[in-house]
Each structure stands twice: as structure tokens, then as C-alpha cells.
């Protein structure tokens, strides 16, 4: 029933823009329910009867873990002993012991990254990083089961989402095995204008790909449990029809080759629940995004190969670009709500770590295959954008403090969560370490020491900090920090395609220097941002759920000045304090204070697309995926230009002008409310406003976003809108 179209404004635009339903189109397939129970974290898990690691590999995986973790602990012990000589060689003090404890905690973090990088270096030299019978190249295996590609989206640019999805579908069609796959766009969009734009973009995608009978769209009116709840609802409704599901993100692109190889590996390994690929960051325009993609492309494989080498079948999940066994997910990964109030209680935000841990708890294997190319994602364009995302991730990771003690988890799974918590807790620890060091230095500078106490001693009680030992410790710590980058560069020299794709050996070396210097200046700013995030969470502030900005449009200078003024003030204060002690301490602190003092210009410059493209023209921060992009990325960029960045129009205006889209919208309306279902206050208020509004313009002014969304999702609301002129 074209209720809105009956009152559409006259003219050719109304008729010409009405889309025709593609042949074989249906909004959703028949339901195929699959039970997905929620298991309490304190309950004993039901094992599915398999051992994830074959007995023949137990000794090897234990040895690998001993080398990596034991090596990191041994390095930390030695470093702690040497640092103790710096602060406490003559006499122990409270300040010296605080500094020592903080140093040990921070050094253990970088030592584990160092030993993992060494493991990754060895793995890449021996061409590891696959397993599970996966081959990098050669004929594609034939698939025998059905797989669903899931694209969750939340208030994203519909054209941008569909552009990446269309490139993925085209690449999958090129494998000639597309009949083994269905695609689901799972919308949690709350903005009604974006919602209708999604429907229009979805129908255009159906027509463009010819996948009308295998490309589905479903929008949830109520966003229960966010993305995790979105996926879980799909599993409970359609999961029984698909042996596997591949989760994507709104910025994901995957080649058909990697999708088929991952799916075939899942078919061949019945004890595996999840196989995670290594997404490469691409399409960076700003300097910040280009630094992120260069670091991810050059250093990322080293770290990923390292953790895959010692994680074995106890791998992790990053939330997207992975293939998952639907039955295992439904059986084990139903997420309970955490006790208590937000931000620590309620729905689990960083659900991917927990889902992997729960499936492993149930006896399923979780693997990573970093050597399989063809998986891509994008980076936030600026420091501010990544700070917004990091605030949400920070809350999700700190929530894991309530999950890590769950009954039956593998100790490696617990370690994943502790490392996730540590990735944010280390920032305030680093800040405290710096502040304590400044306080100790100021005390030694301005406080008159008591050389002879009440106890009569042969020698006076001289204060002592060994400057030579401190210099050695600084050099050693920096060596541990920079070693993974050096190892990655050595691998780059060996890998001809990677070396050429990064502009050659010299350009790659210069790019590493640029990334290290600029990244080093940005690091203290990120430290303050993450510290503020941790503190706000501890104070009980919830991060909410906001759409992520993905385009390269930067903030205005005054906005950056307002956001980073506190960082600048703190940097000046630390610099003055260091200068008041001594010139050597001022120079020692310069990498930290300079980054903070320059926070505003750094935020502006790194968030600039013009600066990022200037570096590209200088052949710096290049990656192979932009110098010789694979076909799936070329297609994604082409479609992005055609489809993304279009302004979102008013939903009511669009539906009144496009009768075909209105038909589709009405077909995809949720079922009407039944007695006993929850009452939607926004719908009741919205319907009342429509009944009392004298005209359409007044109604549109009166409705807020939630009310507009509710009436557009209701047949009576559409009818009332049609009566207004």
C-alpha cells in the first residue's frame, strides 16, 4: 500500500526514482531458529568432547609458551635488579621502591611484546602463520556447506558500508562459489533518516550484484545488547541454516579468495570454532591514519605471527573478519549481563574476547592465521577519533575484571583479558611513574638531606642515584621498545613485494623513522587520554554507544585547541619542574614534555588529509595495498567514490518521493505489537503528535528522533503521515 506515495509531490522525480524490486528479492529468508542459551560465568561449562590441541602438539606449545612468557619474566627480573641499583643501591626508600614496582610492571609489558616479536620473527622466517591445512595460493578448495556473511551496522554512512560490501560480494562471485554464501546486513541504526537511506542503498546493492535472493536486510527497532545482541539475535533466528558465519565490520573488505579458504578450513577441522584472519589497515588519508596503516602493515604481521605461534588453539577474537562455527557460537557464546551498575555492570561491551574465551572453555579451538592475505579494515582518521573509540574499548576491557575469574576458562584466555586490561591500565601507571620521578627529583633538589641521623654511623647517609646505571637502563629499555621495529625492517628487506610496496629499502627506513618520531610525540598525549578514560570509568561514567567517524574531515583548529589545552598545560608544568631540577633532567623528559606541549599542533597536523597526502607524494608511509592495490580494494575504492559521502536526506521526504522504496519499507516493517509485548512510549507520543499536527511541516518539527523512527516503523504511523500535507 503506497500510503505516502499517494500524497507525493507531483513531477517526474517521484516516478523516475521509484526502484523496481529485483528478481527473486525477498527481505529475509525463512526462519531457522537455533537455541543460544546464556551460561552463567560461575557455572561449570559443558564440554563438547574434543581436545583443541592434539596430544602430539602439547609439548611443543608448552615449550613455546615457556620461551615467550618465561623469557619476558626473566628479562623483567634482570631489568628490575638493575633498576634497583639505580634507586636503592645505598639505602632503600619509599619513593625508590614505588619507582621500582612501577618500572617492573611497565617493563614486563614491553618485555612480553619483545619476546612475542622474536617468536614472530622466527615464525615468519620459516614461513609459518597458517596451519589448519590452509594454503596461501593454488586452486581454491570446493565448499560443501552454507555460510552467512554478517554485516552489522549502526548509524554508518550507508553508501560507505555498501561500497565495501559490494566489493566483497563481487570478489566472492569471482570464485564461482558464491552459491555457498548468503549476506545479511544487520542494522541497529537509530537515526530514521540513515535507516531509510540504508534501505535505499540495500535495494541498489541487490540490483547491482544480482544477489536479490541471497542478500538480506534486517533492522532491529530495539538495540538490545548492542552489536553482541545483534549477532545473537541473528543466530537465534537464522543460525540453524548456516554451518558458519563470517563477521564483518562497517569498514571491512575481504577478498573472495580468503573467504573461501577460511571457510574450507572450518569445514576440514570439526573441532575448531573460530579462525581469525589478520586485517590490514588501508585507505588512510590523514597523517594519523597513514601512520596507523604503515605500522599495522609493517609491524603488525610480526606481532600477529608471534602471538599465533604461542597461542596455538587458545587464540583470540577481534570482533570481525573471522569465520565462526555457528553451532559452537550458539552453544557457548551466549553472554550474560554482568552484575552491578554501568560502567562495570550490564551488557558486556568488548564481547569478542569473552566469546572466544567461552567457546574455548567449551572445548572448541580458536585459531589465528596471520599469513593469509586478503582481509582489510580502516583506521580512525585522527587522534580525537581514536580517543573516542578507545574510551569505549577501555570500558569494555576494564569490564573484563568481572569476567576473568569465570569458572573453567583456559589460563591463556584469562591472560588475553588481563592483557586487554593492562593495555589501558599501563597509561596511568606510566603517568604515575613520571610524576613520582619528578617529585623525587624535586625533593632531592630543594629538600635539605639529613646526612647524619640519630644513629651514630661511621659514614654519613648520602642520598644516591646512580646516573651511569640510569643511562644504561634507559638505553636498554629503549632497545627493547625499538627491537620489534628493527626486526620488522629486517623482514621487510627479505620480502621483495613488501619492500617494493613500501617504496624501497631507504623509503621504508625513512618511514619507520617518521612513524617512530611522530608516534613517540603522540604517545604521551595518548597516555593522558587513556588515563582520563580509566579515571572516568572508575568514577562511574558510561561511554555510551556512538557511531564512529570514518572520513578524513578534520576538526577545526579551535576545536583541537579546546580539546588539548589541558595536555599543553600539563606538558608546560612538567617541563618547568624538570628545568628547575637540572638541565639533564629537562633533556631526559623532553620526549614526553615536547609531545604534550605540542599537543594542539600535533592533533591538527596528524588529523590533516593534506599533510597525509604530502607524505604520500614524498613516498613515505607507503604500503603495498596502495602502491599496487589488489582488485578487491580497487573495486572498493571505485564504489566508495560512487556511493559514499552522499548527504542523508529526510526519510519522510524520500519515502514520499519514491513509491518503490516505500513498498520495500512497508514490506520490511517489524510485525505489529502483540498483547503483552513491551510498550514503546516514543511510538505512543509520536502517533499522538501526528494526530494533532495540522500539517506535515509542523509534525516534523514536533517529532524527536526516537519518535520519528518509531512512527516510520509502524503501519499506523505511515498512514498518519500520508494524511498530512
**What is the tens place of the pLDDT at every residue in 339-388?**
988 888 999 999 999 999 999 999 999 999 999 999 999 999 999 888 88
Q: How far apart are CA 614 and CA 301, in angstroms?
A: 26
- How confident is the model at residue 12, as a pLDDT? 33
Cell of 604: 591538527
Segment 658-681 shows an average pLDDT of 89
Residue 287 domain-assigned (yes or no): no
What is the residue whose three cell numbers read 635488579? 81
Where would I find the beta strands (DSSP E) of 241-354? 244-247, 253-254, 272-276, 280-281, 322-325
Average pLDDT for 566-574: 93
Q: Give the predicted TM-score (pTM) of the model.
A: 0.90
- Say if residue 286's pLDDT is above 70: yes
pLDDT number for residue 475: 87
For 416, residues 6+ apart whose C-beta sits below 8 A from its C-beta are: 316, 353, 356, 357
Cα–Cα–Cα angle for 474, 601, 588, nearest 5°?
Answer: 20
* Radius of gyration (C-alpha) of the chain in whole angstroms: 28
Q: Is the pLDDT of residue 30 over 60?
A: yes
pLDDT band for position 452 (cuts 50, 70, 90): very low
> Which of 125-129, 258-262, 648-652 has the weakest average pLDDT?
125-129
Does residue 533 sit within a domain?
no
Q: Residue 462: its pLDDT value, please? A: 42
**What integer best gives the mean pLDDT of the chain?**
88
For residue 695, give the 3-state DSSP assignment.
Answer: coil
Query: What region, left, alpha or beta, does residue 621 occupy, with left being phi > 0 and alpha being psi -120 to 50 degrees?
Result: left
pLDDT tens-place string over residues 640-664? 999 988 888 999 999 999 988 999 9
289 vs 469 pLDDT, higher one = 289
Most confident of 529-543, 553-567, 686-700: 686-700
Higher confidence at residue 202 or residue 583?
202
How large a percentage of the chain has pLDDT more than 70?
A: 90
Q: Across 80-236, where does the E strand assignment appear?
A: 147-153, 181-187, 215-219
Residue 159 maps to a domain: no
Please give the span between the terminal C-alpha atoms of the chain, in angstroms, as a whole number: 18
pLDDT at 6 over 60: no
On whether the CB atoms of residues 183 and 29 are closer than 8 A, the answer is no
Give the mean model confidence (pLDDT) for residues 536-550: 76
What share of the chain in percent tops pLDDT 90? 70
> pLDDT per residue over 176-213, tens digit each?
999 999 999 999 999 999 999 999 999 999 999 989 88
pLDDT tops 50 at residue 461: no
DSSP label of 5: G
Residue 63 makes CB contacts below 8 A (sequence gap 6+) with none
Of 6, 194, 18, whose CA–CA distance to 724 is shortest? Answer: 6
Q: Is residue 267 part of a domain?
A: no
Confidence of residue 13 (pLDDT cuts 50, 70, 90): very low
Residue 466's pLDDT is 58
Q: Are 349 and 392 in contact (CB under 8 A)?
A: yes
pLDDT tens column, 57-91: 778 999 999 999 999 999 999 999 888 887 766 56
Task: Provide CB contacts within 8 A for 581, sequence distance 6+.
Answer: 438, 441, 442, 444, 445
Q: What's the CA angle centered on 590, arms 585 and 595, to 5 degrees? A: 150
Whether the predicted pLDDT of 440 surpasses 90: no
Q: Quote the domain boundaries for residue 694.
A: 680-725
Q: Is the pLDDT of residue 27 over 80?
A: yes
Residue 132 three-state SS: coil
In a domain, 694, yes or no: yes
Helical segments of 66-157, H only: 71-88, 94-125
Q: What is the mean pLDDT of residues 599-622?
A: 95
Segment 278-282 shows an average pLDDT of: 95
**What pLDDT, on the 0 to 100 scale, is given for residue 585?**
78
pLDDT, residue 373, reads 92
Region of poorest pLDDT, from 13-22, 389-398, 585-594: 13-22
pLDDT bracket for residue 673 (50, 70, 90): confident
Is the bond into 454 cis (omega within 30 degrees of 0)? no
pLDDT value of residue 55: 66
pLDDT confidence of 48, banded at 50, 70, 90? low
Q: Residue 445: is its pLDDT beyond 70?
A: no
Q: Which pLDDT tens digit goes with each residue over 216-248?
A: 999 998 989 999 999 999 999 999 999 999 999
pLDDT at 458 over 70: no
Range from 223-227, 295-299, 439-443, 445-449 carrying the lowest mean pLDDT: 445-449
Q: Bigger pLDDT: 441 or 11?
A: 441
Predicted local distance difference test score (pLDDT) of residue 613: 95
- Burial string for 650-659 (b: 16+ CB within 10 Å, else e) reads ebbbbbbbbb
- The confidence score (pLDDT) of residue 554 equals 59
What is the number of domains present in the chain? 1
Q: Which of 406, 422, 320 is nearest to 358 (CA)?
A: 406
723 occurs within a structural domain: yes
Cell of 198: 540504508
591, pLDDT greater than 90 = no
* pLDDT at residue 630, as a whole number: 96
Please report the pLDDT score of residue 549 as a whole number.
66
What local confidence, expressed as pLDDT, does residue 434 receive?
86
Residue 593 has pLDDT above 60, yes or no: yes
The closest alpha carbon to 615, from 290, 268, 204, 228, belongs to 290
- What pLDDT does residue 16 have? 41
What pLDDT does 707 receive? 94
Between 309 and 1, the more confident residue is: 309
6: in domain: no
Tell whether 277 is covered by a domain: no
Amino acid at each position: 500500500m503506497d500510503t505516502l506515495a499517494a500524497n507525493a509531490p507531483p513531477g517526474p522525480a517521484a516516478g523516475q526514482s521509484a526502484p523496481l524490486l529485483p528478481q527473486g528479492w525477498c527481505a529475509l529468508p525463512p526462519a531457522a531458529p537455533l537455541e543460544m542459551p546464556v551460561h552463567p560465568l560461575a557455572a561449570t561449562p559443558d564440554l563438547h568432547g574434543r581436545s583443541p590441541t592434539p596430544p602430539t602438539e602439547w609439548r611443543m606449545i608448552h615449550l613455546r609458551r615457556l620461551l615467550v612468557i618465561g623469557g619476558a619474566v626473566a628479562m623483567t627480573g634482570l631489568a628490575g635488579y638493575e633498576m634497583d641499583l639505580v634507586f636503592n643501591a645505598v639505602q632503600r626508600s619509599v619513593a625508590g621502591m614505588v619507582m621500582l614496582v612501577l618500572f617492573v610492571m611497565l617493563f614486563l609489558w614491553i618485555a612480553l611484546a619483545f619476546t612475542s616479536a622474536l617468536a614472530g620473527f622466527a615464525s615468519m622466517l620459516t614461513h609459518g602463520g597458517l596451519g589448519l591445512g590452509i594454503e596461501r595460493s593454488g586452486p581454491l578448495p570446493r565448499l560443501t556447506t552454507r555460510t552467512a556473511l554478517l554485516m552489522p551496522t549502526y548509524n554508518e554512512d550507508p553508501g560507505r558500508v555498501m561500497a565495501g560490501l559490494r566489493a566483497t560480494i563481487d570478489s566472492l562471485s569471482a570464485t564461482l562459489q558464491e552459491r555457498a554464501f548468503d549476506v545479511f546486513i544487520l542494522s541497529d541504526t537509530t537515526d530514521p533518516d540513515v535507516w531509510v537511506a540504508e534501505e535505499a542503498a540495500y535495494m541498489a546493492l541487490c540490483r547491482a550484484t544480482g544477489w536479490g535472493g541471497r542478500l538480506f536486510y534486517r533492522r532491529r527497532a530495539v538495540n538490545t545488547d548492542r552489536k553482541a545482541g545483534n549477532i545473537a539475535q541473528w543466530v537465534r533466528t537464522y543460525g540453524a541454516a548456516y554451518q558458519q558465519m563470517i563477521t564483518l565490520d562497517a569498514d571491512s573488505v575481504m577478498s573472495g579468495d580468503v573467504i573461501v579458504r577460511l571457510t574450507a578450513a572450518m569445514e576440514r577441522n570439526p573441532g575448531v570454532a573460530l579462525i581469525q584472519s589478520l586485517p590490514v589497515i588501508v585507505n588512510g588519508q590523514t597523517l594519523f591514519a597513514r601512520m596507523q596503516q604503515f605500522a599495522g602493515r609493517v609491524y603488525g604481521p610480526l606481532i600477529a605471527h608471534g602471538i599465533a605461534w604461542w597461542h596455538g588453539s587458545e587464540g583470540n577474537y577481534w570482533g570481525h573478519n573471522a569465520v565462526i562455527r555457528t553451532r559452537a557460537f550458539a552453544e557457548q557464546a551466549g553472554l550474560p549481563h554482568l552484575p552491578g551498575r554501568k560502567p562495570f555492570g550490564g551488557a558486556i561491551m568488548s564481547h569478542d574476547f569473552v566469546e572466544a574465551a567461552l567457546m574455548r572453555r567449551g572445548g572448541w579451538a580458536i585459531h589465528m592465521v596471520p599469513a593469509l592475505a586478503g582481509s582489510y579494515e580502516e583506521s580512525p582518521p585522527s587522534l580525537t577519533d581514536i580517543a573516542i573509540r578507545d574510551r569505549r574499548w577501555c570500558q569494555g576491557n576494564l569490564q573484563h575484571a568481572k569476567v576473568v575469574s569465570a569458572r573453567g576458562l583456559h589460563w591463556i584466555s584469562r591472560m588475553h583479558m588481563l592483557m586487554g586490561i593492562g593495555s589501558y591500565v599501563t597509561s596511568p601507571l606510566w603517568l604515575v611513574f613520571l610524576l613520582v620521578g619528578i617529585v623525587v627529583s624535586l625533593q632531592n633538589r630543594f629538600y635539605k638531606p639529613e646526612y647524619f641521623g640519630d644513629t651514630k654511623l661511621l659514614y654519613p647517609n648520602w642520598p644516591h642515584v646512580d646516573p651511569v646505571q640510569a643511562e644504561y637502563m634507559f638505553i636498554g629499555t629503549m632497545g627493547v621498545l625499538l627491537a620489534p621495529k628493527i626486526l620488522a625492517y629486517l623482514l621487510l628487506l627479505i620480502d621483495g613485494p613488501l619492500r617494493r610496496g613500501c617504496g624501497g629499502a631507504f623509503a621504508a627506513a625513512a618511514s619507520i623513522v617518521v612513524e617512530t618520531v611522530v608516534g613517540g610525540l603522540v604517545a604521551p598525549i595518548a597516555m593522558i587520554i587513556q588515563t582520563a578514560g580509566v579515571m572516568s570509568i572508575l568514577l562511574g561514567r558510561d561511554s555510551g554507544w556512538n557511531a564512529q567517524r570514518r572520513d578524513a574531515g578534520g576538526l577545526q583548529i579551535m576545536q583541537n585547541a579546546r580539546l588539548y589545552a589541558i595536555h599543553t598545560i600539563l606538558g608546560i608544568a612538567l617541563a618547568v619542574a624538570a628545568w628547575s631540577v637540572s638541565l639533564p633532567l629537562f633533556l631526559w623528559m623532553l620526549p614526553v614534555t615536547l609531545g604534550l606541549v605540542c599537543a594542539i599542533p600535533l592533533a591538527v597536523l596528524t588529523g590533516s588529509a593534506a599533510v597525509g597526502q604530502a607524505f604520500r607524494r614524498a613516498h613515505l608511509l607507503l604500503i603495498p595495498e596502495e602502491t599496487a592495490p589488489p582488485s578487491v580494494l580497487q573495486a572498493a575504492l571505485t564504489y566508495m567514490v560512487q556511493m559514499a559521502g552522499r548527504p542523508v536526506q529526510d526519510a519522510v521526504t524520500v519515502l514520499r518521493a519514491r513509491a518503490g522504496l516505500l513498498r520495500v519499507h512497508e514490506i520490511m516493517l517489524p510485525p505489529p505489537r502483540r498483547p503483552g509485548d513491551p510498550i514503546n512510549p516514543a511510538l505512543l507520543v509520536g502517533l499522538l503528535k501526528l494526530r494533532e499536527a495540522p500539517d506535515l511541516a509542523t509534525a516534523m518539527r514536533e517529532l524527536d528522533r526516537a519518535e520519528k523512527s518509531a512512527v516510520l516503523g509502524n503501519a499506523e504511523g505511515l498512514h498518519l503521515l500520508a494524511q498530512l500535507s
